């Protein structure tokens, strides 16, 4: 499942910043359940890849391996996916980063 951080989350070696999205498996589902209960994260409903701007061709390609939604894409093993669609690992990682970035909300208030 995909979540959005509603506060800065201290995950030990890294901090997931408020507004960023992350996969449940990054923290573990039991941790996510506890954070949900405290209102520190929210579930993100993801649309089909095809509706994302400039993703038509990539969405068609990913559909050939059964990936339709953003969540399915992010959760799919990167190595396995790169082999299946005959793209480099770097390229798949770049796409995942691009998709994630579309769901980040930078809601920090700044002075000025």
Q: Is 7 exposed, middle or buried (0-12, 13-18, 19+ CB in 10 A)?
A: middle
CB proximity list for 101: less than 8 A, separation 6 or greater = none
Among residues 1, 8, 47, 98, the one that binds other proteins under rule CB under 8 A = 8
Is residue 111 within the footprint of other proteins (CB under 8 A)? yes
Among positions 17-36, residues that touch other proteins (CB under 8 A) are 27, 31, 34-35
Is residue 43 within the footprint of other proteins (CB under 8 A)? no
Among residues 4, 19, 23, 40, the one that binds other proteins under rule CB under 8 A = 40
Distance CA 50, CA 41 (A): 26
CB proximity list for 34: less than 8 A, separation 6 or greater = none
Interface with other proteins by CB under 8 A: which residues? Answer: 7-12, 15-16, 27, 31, 34-35, 37-38, 40, 111
């Amino acid at each position: 499942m995909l979540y959005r951080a509603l506060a800065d989350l201290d995950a030990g070696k890294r901090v997931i910043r408020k507004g960023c999205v992350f996969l449940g498996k990054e923290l573990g589902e039991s941790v996510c359940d506890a954070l949900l209960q405290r209102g520190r994260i929210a579930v993100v409903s993801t649309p089909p890849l095809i509706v994302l701007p400039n993703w038509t061709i990539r969405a068609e390609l990913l559909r050939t391996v059964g990936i339709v939604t953003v969540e399915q894409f992010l959760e799919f093993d990167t190595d396995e996916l790169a082999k299946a669609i005959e793209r480099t690992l770097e390229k798949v990682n770049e796409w995942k980063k691009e998709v994630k970035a579309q769901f980040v909300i930078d809601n920090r208030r700044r002075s000025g």
